[in-house]
C-alpha cells in the first residue's frame, strides 16, 4: 500500500484533478492539508479549466419544474460526438434543497459554468448542483422604484462570479430620465457594492420584458433591449463584468421591428439572437437564429438557420455541440425535450417530464465553486451521517482508477 503522506505534491495534484467530484468532496477529510488544497481557489479554478476541456463540455444541463411535486429538477443532455446523436440521462436526486416561499419555483437569473443564480423578491441564491450546495446572498442596498433586472456571469479576469442588479428609479424611455443604479455582488468579496455602471447606461434604453434574461459570454452579459430614440429599434445592451460598463450593439438594419420577439443566447461560442415568428398570438410558427461572427461588428450578423416546427407552444432552450437545437414542446400534462437537426430537419424525442412551464438549458461543467463556502442553514437540516473517509479510502480510489504510479 502506498503511503500518501510521501506522495510528491505535483503527482498528488494530478491525481486529484482526475478524480470525480464525489471523491474530491469526501477526500477533504483525509487531512487538513488535503482539505486546504481541494477547497483553495487555485485548485477550484484549475479543476474547472480541465473539466471544460474534456467530456463534460459535451453536455447541457436542463432545469425544469416537477409540477406534481413542486420541486425543481435537473437533467443532463449528453452528446455523443462519435455517433452524432444525443441522449437524455437523469441526474438522480438532484433537486434544489429549498423551495420558493411565494411561487412554486424560483425565477432564474442565469447560469455560468454549471453555477445557477435564482431569485424571488429580494432573495437571491447561488446554487451549484454538482456539489449540491447553495448560498443565500445578503439583501441588496439599492431600492428599485420602477423596474429591476438581474444578470449573472463569470469574470475570467478575476476568476470571480458576479450578480448584476440594475435598479431603475424612473422610466428610461423618456428624455432626461434618471439612469439606473447598478449593484454588483462578488462571490469572492461576499458582498454587494454600488458601481459607477449607471453612468455609462445609454439614454432611452429599456430592457425587453419579453425576454429579460441576459445571456452570458466571455466576461459580459447581454440583454435584448429597446431603443426609444428618434429611430426606434431593437438593440442589444451589454454589461462588461470586468470594467463594469454598458455598451450597445446594433442589430441587422431593417430586419426586426419593435414588436419582434427576440432573446439573446450563445451559439458555438458566439453571441446569438433567437427570433420567434408567430402565426397567431401564442402559436410559434418559426424561429430564426442569428449569430454575430465578429465581436462588436454589426455587419457580421448572419442568419444561421430557421426552425419551422409544426407544433403549438414550443421554445428553443439551447444548442448542442453538434449544432443540433434543444427544443421544448409544452403539452397540457407535461413537456417533451426534442433535438432538432437544422441541416436534415429531423426531430428526435429526448424524453418526457412533468412540467408545463418553459424550462432553461445551458452548457454543463463540473464545478467545485462554493465548496469553500459555509453551508446555508437550510442545507444543514437533512444532513445524513456518512462514513468518514480515511487514507485507505483514498488509496483504494486511486488504485481503482488506475492512476497510481509505480
On the question of pLDDT at 85 being above 60, the answer is no
Residue 68 confidence (pLDDT): 72
Greatest mean pLDDT among 45-49, 87-91, 252-256, 273-277 lies in 273-277
Instruction: Summarize the confidence of residues 282-311 as an average pLDDT.
Output: 88
Residue 163 confidence (pLDDT): 97
Residue 101 confidence (pLDDT): 72
What percentage of the chain reaches a pLDDT higher than 90? Answer: 33
* More confident site: 398 or 326: 326
* More confident site: 164 or 18: 164
Residue 380 confidence (pLDDT): 39
Q: What is the pLDDT of residues 176-198, one digit of tens each?
A: 788 899 999 999 999 999 999 99
**Beta-ladder partners of 325:** 319, 340
Q: What is the pLDDT of residues 10-56, one digit of tens each?
A: 888 888 888 888 888 888 888 888 888 999 988 988 888 887 666 45
Greatest mean pLDDT among 53-62, 149-158, 250-259, 342-351 lies in 149-158
**Mean model confidence pLDDT for the chain:** 81
Instruction: Summarize the confidence of residues 363-379 as an average pLDDT.
Output: 77
Instruction: Summarize the confidence of residues 347-364 as an average pLDDT.
Output: 82
Lowest mean pLDDT among 69-78, 216-225, 292-301: 69-78
CB 95 within 8 A of CB 63: no
Residue 300 confidence (pLDDT): 94
What percentage of the chain reaches a pLDDT higher than 70? Answer: 83
On the question of pLDDT at 91 being above 50, the answer is no
On the question of pLDDT at 160 being above 80, the answer is yes
On the question of pLDDT at 378 being above 50, the answer is no
Instruction: Summarize the confidence of residues 138-164 as an average pLDDT.
Output: 91
Instruction: Summarize the confidence of residues 52-78 as an average pLDDT.
Output: 73
On the question of pLDDT at 370 being above 60, the answer is yes
On the question of pLDDT at 90 being above 90, the answer is no
* Measured distance CA(337)–CA(317) in Å, rounded: 9
Instruction: Summarize the confidence of residues 123-148 as an average pLDDT.
Output: 88
Residue 322 confidence (pLDDT): 79
On the question of pLDDT at 406 being above 60, the answer is no
Residue 5 confidence (pLDDT): 60
Instruction: Summarize the confidence of residues 218-228 as an average pLDDT.
Output: 94
* Measured distance CA(136)–CA(187) in Å, rounded: 11
Residue 402 confidence (pLDDT): 44
On the question of pLDDT at 272 being above 70, the answer is yes
* Measured distance CA(151)–CA(163) in Å, rounded: 6
Residue 381 confidence (pLDDT): 36
Greatest mean pLDDT among 236-240, 313-317, 343-347 lies in 236-240
* Cα angle: 272, vertex 273, 279; to 5 degrees: 150
CA–CA distance from 9 to each of 12, 146, 306, 354, 406 (Å)? 5, 55, 52, 48, 16
Residue 221 confidence (pLDDT): 97
Find, among 84, 118, 60, the residue nearest to 267 by Cα.
Answer: 60
Q: What is the pLDDT of residues 198-207, one digit of tens each?
A: 999 999 999 9
Amino acid at each position: 500500500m502506498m503511503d500518501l503522506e510521501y506522495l510528491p505534491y505535483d503527482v498528488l495534484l494530478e491525481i486529484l484533478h482526475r478524480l470525480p467530484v464525489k471523491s474530491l468532496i469526501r477526500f477533504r477529510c483525509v487531512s487538513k492539508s488535503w482539505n486546504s488544497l481541494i477547497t483553495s481557489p487555485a485548485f477550484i479554478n484549475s479543476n474547472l479549466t480541465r473539466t471544460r476541456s474534456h467530456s463534460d463540455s459535451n453536455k447541457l444541463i436542463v432545469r425544469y419544474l416537477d409540477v406534481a411535486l413542486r420541486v425543481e429538477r435537473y437533467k443532463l443532455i449528453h452528446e455523443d460526438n462519435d455517433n452524432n446523436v444525443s441522449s437524455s440521462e437523469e441526474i438522480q436526486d438532484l433537486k434544489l434543497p429549498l423551495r420558493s416561499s411565494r411561487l412554486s419555483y424560483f425565477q432564474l437569473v442565469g447560469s455560468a459554468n454549471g453555477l445557477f443564480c435564482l431569485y424571488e423578491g429580494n432573495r437571491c441564491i447561488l446554487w451549484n448542483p454538482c456539489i449540491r450546495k447553495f448560498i443565500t446572498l445578503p439583501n441588496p442596498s439599492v431600492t428599485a422604484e420602477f423596474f429591476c433586472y438581474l444578470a449573472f456571469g463569470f469574470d475570467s479576469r478575476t476568476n470571480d462570479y458576479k450578480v448584476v442588479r440594475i435598479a431603475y428609479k424612473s422610466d428610461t424611455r423618456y428624455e432626461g430620465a434618471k439612469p439606473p443604479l447598478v449593484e454588483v455582488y462578488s462571490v469572492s468579496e461576499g458582498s454587494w457594492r454600488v458601481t459607477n455602471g449607471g453612468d455609462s447606461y445609454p439614454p432611452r434604453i429599456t430592457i425587453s420584458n419579453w425576454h429579460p434574461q441576459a445571456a452570458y459570454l466571455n466576461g459580459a452579459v447581454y440583454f435584448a433591449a429597446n431603443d426609444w430614440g428618434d429611430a426606434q429599434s431593437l438593440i442589444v445592451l451589454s454589461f462588461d463584468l470586468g470594467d463594469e460598463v454598458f455598451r450597445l450593439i446594433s442589430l441587422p438594419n431593417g430586419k426586426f421591428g419593435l414588436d419582434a420577439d427576440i432573446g439573446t443566447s450563445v451559439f458555438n461560442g458566439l453571441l446569438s439572437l433567437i427570433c420567434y415568428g408567430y402565426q397567431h398570438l401564442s402559436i410559434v410558427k418559426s424561429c430564426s437564429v442569428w449569430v454575430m461572427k465578429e465581436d462588436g461588428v454589426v455587419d457580421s450578423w448572419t442568419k444561421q438557420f430557421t426552425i419551422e416546427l409544426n407544433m403549438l407552444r414550443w421554445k428553443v432552450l439551447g444548442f448542442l455541440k453538434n449544432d443540433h437545437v434543444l427544443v421544448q414542446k409544452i403539452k397540457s400534462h407535461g413537456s417533451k425535450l426534442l433535438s432538432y437537426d437544422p441541416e436534415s430537419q429531423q426531430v428526435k424525442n429526448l424524453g418526457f417530464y412533468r412540467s408545463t412551464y418553459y424550462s432553461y438549458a445551458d452548457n454543463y461543467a463540473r464545478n467545485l465553486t462554493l465548496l469553500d463556502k459555509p453551508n446555508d442553514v437550510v442545507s444543514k437540516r437533512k444532513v445524513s451521517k456518512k462514513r468518514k473517509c480515511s487514507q485507505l479510502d483514498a488509496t483504494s480510489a486511486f488504485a481503482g482508477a488506475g492512476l497510481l504510479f509505480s
